[in-house]
A and B are shown apart, each in its own frame.
Chain A
Amino acid sequence: MRNVIVFVEHKGGQTRKVTFELATEARALADALGGKAHAVVLGGGAGGLAERIKAYPLDLIHVSEDGDVDRFLIDPAIDYLERVAKSAGPSLILVPNTMYGRDVAGRIAARLNAGMAADVTQFGVEGGRVACTAPKLGGVAITTCLFKNTDYGVATVRPNAFSAQADGSGAEIVAIEKPAGRSYAMTIEDDVEEASGELGLEEAPAIVSGGRGLGGPEPFETVLKPLADALGGAVGASRAAADAGWVPYSLQIGQTGKTVSPQLYIACGISGAIQHKVGMRTAGTIIAINKDGASPIAEFSDLVVVGDLFQIVPELTKLVKESKSS
């Protein structure tokens, strides 16, 4: 494979930072492979978004604003992506490792009979082949895999694992022709947003996360949120907190929630179960505030402060705020 294609995930033209991370990494990989860097932007708002993505070092941005992409679940998007992949020739397709991204990856991998690498945090090019590095088995192994027997590879890429660098180079924007003779079977009747449109968890530089130790919904707002705000970050949660209905599932971090790699992760009243750990263990600095110094989270934290989160967090918020204003 020589080319690199970025699948852009967005909603009505609003995208996340990972798009720009992928665009930047696509350039580096395409250069190493001697091919071109492409992006595919589909559905309502695609045109406007393509203009923004243009600031990143891509060669071609393929756009379609076809309403079918928003009316029908996934199938039209896969048809368009397939079309671009076939016209670009052998390529590596990059999608964000999100719920939607994983769906796209599985579908396009089958459509193109391609190999698939999941949750990639690092790429390399060795002798013209792409190497994908990803943590596996809850982080006990870091594996590097290569594609074989195929012209195409698909990688789901962990948000926040790569840096984004605009260079204003101005890719060419081209329209994708509608694939002919398709009819779609899964109709989206309703699309409901439950999380507020704040900073996405995956791209937050700092996450203040709460678990069962919070004891109810209010402390997420009154105790954790002020600290997250002071740090310029976002609030996350364990599954126990989401299961209890204290926060929406969209804030859940872990194997069945979001995978995050912030620079700073502060776990408050979270014990550190394996399913939680796999979603956050690649964070830069991990700090736990827990009543119990022997809880499993101590095994993968940099610092554990043993004490009551309700006393510590507000004091910490004060210190962070003071440091900002001084």
Chain B
Amino acid sequence: MRFSIPEVSGSVKIVVTVKLVPDTNAEKKIDPASKRLVRAGMETVLNPYDEYAIEGALKIKESLGGDTTVTIFSMAPAASKEVLRKALAMGADDAVFLTDAGLEGSDVWGTAFAMAQGLKKVGFDLVICGGLADDGSTGGVPGALAEYLGVPGFTNCRRVDVTGNTLKVQRETDSGYQVVTGAMPALVSVTMAIGEPRYASLKGIMGAKKKTIATLALADLGLDHAVGGDGAKTEVATIAAPPVREKARIVEAADGAAGAKVIFDLLKEKKLV
């Protein structure tokens, strides 16, 4: 298996993990009965943060040249498969789609556990993840994946340089950035500072139709733990609407002093000054 060979020779196999999420700009609602997001009429799109991961991968491919490849990897319900064409149109070479009814209801743990096994099957030198998923926003998957894959996990990278087998990254921290080095096989997650995702060209869009999207099912993974809703380590007990904020008071300020007075009065009333 390629996964177990740490020597990287000329060609680097990059796999980008891409989540498929409900349209980021759509108004979101929860169905009180199923406690699930109402997806009806809502388009499924590539997680916007993963477009940055794809961009990062394509940049590395361009800088390395040779036989370097970019494979898209996604775990999602069967109906969403064709959404991956967009990633292929951006310039990825092929895709692997992990889909199975038994994966439904997976939590962070189950997602990372199943994906890790799938990624091992696919083989890689470098896995690139987005920083977080727009729908779940836990940001926990990349770290957990690195752990299950048993490879170094460079998270929140804004710059990734590959030289031979080695990686040098600049990663964002809460107060600045770090420069960190290591070797492949490895996982990195990227931030938006990696560079704006490119648009698919017309040629890219046409070409994407002919690219391969292979599928993997649960049975192909040979997992030794239950996943999906049954195996999940968390369960949702209740879903409530947020406390309603009273409608904002909207005040036109005649001038600076008048506007300031309105605010100051509220601060006093709330004992904030």
Contact = CB atoms under 8 A, between A and B. Distances in A.
Interface of A: 11, 73-75, 78, 98-100, 102-107, 109-111, 113-119, 131, 135-150, 153, 156, 185-195, 206, 231, 248-250, 255-256, 258, 263-264, 266, 274, 278, 284-289, 293, 298-308, 310-316, 318-320, 323-324
Nearest to B144: A110
Contact of B180 (A73, A147, A156): A73
Contacts of A266: 263
Given A74-B153, A138-B28, A323-B273, A143 B178 contact: no
Contact of B191 (A190, A256, A278, A323): A256
A298 B239 contact: no
A32 B241 CA distance: 27
Contacts of B139: 102, 106, 118
Nearest to A151: B233
Query: Which secondary structure dominates chain B's binding surface?
Result: mixed
A116 B181 contact: no
Contacts of B233: 109, 113-116, 147-150, 153
B266 A307 contact: no
B248 A303 contact: yes
B178 A192 contact: yes
A194 B249 CA distance: 38
B17 interface: no
Contact of B143 (A110, A186, A195, A250): A110
Contact of A312 (B183, B235, B253): B253
B37 interface: yes
A298 B248 contact: yes
12 contacts: A110-B147, A118-B136, A144-B239, A149-B232, A190-B178, A192-B177, A194-B176, A250-B174, A263-B272, A293-B252, A302-B266, A312-B263
Contacts of B156: 99, 103
Contacts of B142: 106
B40 interface: no
A148 B176 CA distance: 37
Interface stretch (B54-62, B107-115, B214-222): B107-115
Contacts, number: 287
A109 B140 contact: yes
Contacts of B225: 113
B30 interface: yes
Contacts of B180: 73, 186-189
Contact of A285 (B131, B239, B270): B270
A234 to B, nearest CB: 13
Given A143-B35, A264-B267, A285-B266, 12 more contacts: A106-B140, A107-B144, A114-B109, A117-B234, A140-B28, A187-B180, A191-B176, A191-B178, A255-B134, A274-B25, A302-B245, A316-B260
A116 B140 contact: yes
A137 B135 contact: yes
B193 interface: yes
Contacts of A188: 178-180
Interface in B100-122: 107-109, 112-113
B28 to A, nearest CB: 5
B248 A301 contact: yes
A189 B109 contact: no
B33 interface: no
A137 B29 CA distance: 9
Contacts of A118: 108, 136-140
Contact of B240 (A100, A109, A141, A285): A141
Nearest to A287: B263
Nearest 4 CB-CB pairs, A to B? A106-B143, A311-B256, A115-B233, A307-B253
B264 A320 contact: yes
Contact of A111 (B147, B191, B236, B270): B147
A293 B256 CA distance: 16
Given A99-B173, A139-B242, A140-B28, A107 B234 contact: no
Contact of A140 (B30, B267, B270): B30
B99 interface: no
B191 to A, nearest CB: 7
A109 B265 CA distance: 47
A106 to B, nearest CB: 3
Interface string B146-173: 1110001111100000000000100111
Given A106-B142, A143-B239, A189 B148 contact: no
B252 to A, nearest CB: 5
A93 to B, nearest CB: 13
A250 B153 contact: no
Contacts of B28: 137-138, 140-141
Given A99-B174, A274-B25, A302-B266, A137 B37 contact: yes
A250 B250 contact: no
B34 to A, nearest CB: 12
A188 B58 CA distance: 26
Contacts of B257: 315
Contacts of A255: 132, 134, 137
A264 B266 CA distance: 11
Of B30, B143, B192, the most chain A CB neighbours within 10 A belong to: B143
Nearest to A11: B175
Contact of B256 (A110, A113, A315): A315
